[in-house]
Structure 1
Amino acid sequence: MNFTRTVTQNNRKVIKRILKETTLEDLNKIPQGFSNNIFWNIAHIVVTQQLLVYKLSGLPMYVSDEMISKYRKGTKPEGDVVQKEVDEVYELLDSLLIKTEEDLTAGIFKNYTEYTLSLGTTLSNVHEAIEFNNIHEGMHYGYVLAIKKALKVDK
């Protein structure tokens, strides 16, 4: 699990740097040919981790229902976000990983509702969910890079 944790932490560092270095205007822009923006992809990462790890384990999530409804699979941006929302997601990128690690150590993950991904693979336990989450975050990091390129954001 140490390798998986390290990958997750490194993914989040890069994503946090993008949030910090990209203007609010560019975080909100949706380039032609895309259905979402940089911020949506990053907030989606936060929400998906909570759904895969906590909800499917039958545990309370640490993000609001409003955030889940705005950034879950199948949604798209419905307006510009403000800096307060960016700051919240920036903090959640670290705090939720710390909380997940604490909860894993405490052994609270007792149950898991199997979930079959669109790829046809079935997640059967929280450890598989955490491993898959890294793949999911990597995919959305790729979308973020593609959006940055389309916007010609150099940082």
Structure 2
Amino acid sequence: MEPTIIRHLETVRGITEQMIKKIPEEISDIVPKGFNNNIRWNFGHIASVQEKLVFRVLGEEMGIPKEYEQFFGAGTKPAEWEGTPPSLAEIAVVLTEQKTRIKDFIQGRLHEKLPTPFTNRAGITFYTLGETLLFSFYHEALHVETIKRLYRSISSK
């Protein structure tokens, strides 16, 4: 099962990596009416949450830049940013490097119990690394769809 999950990780993240390459930097900070966040936030948020769902839940040190939490953590929004967020190119590198670190880290660990069960904002409780990793694919897909909707909204104007 582990090889299948790793292939799925590569597929899901590969879609995200291809998408970020196609988005022009100059539109990445537009927040269209009806949206709370922009394209840049969504890509950064994918990296931020994935890091938590794989590494932090096991008490491991996070391997993404510390400022990702202030820019892209749950509950943040671009309207409240202080400072300059990473460029799309910088986020793309983080996403690609993260995929490699995750593939190396999860080898033989998918059934590893979390030190403390983790309950997300939706009230779902996870008990193993495999559960949090599998949920992260769903989370990433939701934000990829949001990025598509943002892009369509911006491009239609």
Q: TM-score range by the shorter chain?
A: 0.7 to 0.9
Q: Aligned with 2:77: secondary structure?
A: coil
Q: Corresponding residue for 2:76?
A: 75
- Whether the 8 Å contact between 1:58 and 1:111 is mirrored in structure 2 is no
Q: Corresponding residue for 1:54?
A: 55
- Does 1:115 pair with 2:118? yes
Q: Structure 1 residue 106: deviation in Å?
A: 7.0
After TM superposition, the score normalised by the length of structure 2 is: 0.85
Write the distance in 2 (CA, Å) between the matches of 1:81 and 1:19: 19
Which residue, out of 129, 149, 154, partners 2:152? 149
Q: Deviations over 1:89-139 (max 9, x none)?
A: 1112121111111122275x9652211123332111111010000010011
Matches within 5 A, 1:91-130: 91-105=93-107, 112=114, 113-130=116-133
Query: Cα RMSD (Å) of the superposition?
Result: 2.3
- Whether the 8 Å contact between 1:28 and 1:81 is mirrored in structure 2 is no
Opposite residue 4 of structure 1, the aligned amino acid is I
Q: Aligned with 1:115: secondary structure?
A: strand
Aligned residues: 152
Which residue, out of 115, 138, 141, partners 1:138? 141
Q: Corresponding residue for 1:90?
A: 92
- Whether the 8 Å contact between 2:39 and 2:150 is mirrored in structure 1 is yes
Write the distance in 2 (CA, Å) between the matches of 1:110 and 1:29: 41
Runs of at least 5 residues in structure 2 that lack an aligned partner in the other structure: none
- Whether the 8 Å contact between 2:113 and 2:127 is mirrored in structure 1 is no
Q: Structure 1 residue 144: deviation in Å?
A: 0.6
Sequence identity, in percent?
Answer: 23
Runs of at least 5 residues in structure 1 that lack an aligned partner in the other structure: none
Distance 1:80 1:148, change over 3 A: farther
- Does 1:40 pair with 2:41? yes
Q: Identify which range, 143-152 or 9-18, moves more after superposition.
A: 9-18
Q: Structure 1 residue 61: deviation in Å?
A: 0.7
Opposite residue 60 of structure 2, the aligned amino acid is L
Distance 1:110 1:4, change over 3 A: closer
Write the distance in 1 (CA, Å) between the matches of 2:15 and 2:102: 19
- Whether the 8 Å contact between 1:28 and 1:80 is mirrored in structure 2 is no
> After TM superposition, which residue ranges in structure 1, 4 or more long, deviate above 6 angstroms?
none
